[in-house]
Amino acid sequence: MKLIRYQAPNSAPWLAFDRWSNLRDELNLFFDMPFWSGFGRTGQLFTGWSPALDLYESGDHFVAIVELPGMRKDVIDISLHDGTLTISGERKRESNNNGETAERTERYVGTFRRSIALPTRVDPSKVTATYEDGILKVTLPKAEEAKPKQIQVS
């Protein structure tokens, strides 16, 4: 299991060109750059992209909120292994057969993966997830032994 560092979208190197160039110049620059330079914004070991993830903790559960706009529910894969939550999947490029002639995009396509180590144990059988408005929300109830306990003084 590798830990994949989240890459802030703003650090994409070619976005810096936006300031003074129009869309056509940008497109030309994009194509002038070597093929692999587009991967500069991703991790060194993983040639995909990583969505932004927020993690909340309350007394008896964790909630992970992941920004995954424009996905289909069935391509999102959620797994839990050794206390590490991994969300992965693939965003496919839309078909290009409809007379499309040119494209320029800042959107990530291809496989994505995001992992986060959870601070305490969770109960894998009780994990639930919802996907709405492009937001994936994973609720992970803590394992019994990790929940805070009140001890009565007898």
Partner 1 sequence: MNTLTRETRESDRGQAEQFTMAPAGVTEISDGYTLEIEMPGVKKDGLEISVENNELMIIGRRSLLTAEGTLIHRESRPENFRRMFELDPSIDANKISAKIDQGLVTLTLPKAEHVKPRKITVS
In angstroms and rounded to an integer, the radius of gyration of the C-alpha atoms of the chain is: 20
End-to-end CA distance of the chain: 46
The residue range among 38-46, 80-88, 100-108, 146-154 that interacts with partner 1, by the rule CB under 8 A, is 100-108
Residue 73 CB, nearest distance to partner 1 (Å)? 9
Binding residue for partner 1 (CB under 8 A) from 1, 45, 102, 151? 102
| Beta sheet of 84-91, edge-to-edge order | 76-81, 84-91, 110-117
For residues 64 and 138, the answer to whether their CB atoms sit within 8 Å is: yes
Question: Any contact of residue 95 with partner 1 (CB under 8 A)?
Answer: no
Binding site for partner 1 (CB under 8 A): 6, 8-10, 18-19, 22-24, 27, 52-59, 61-63, 65, 67-71, 94, 98-108, 116, 119, 131-135, 137, 139
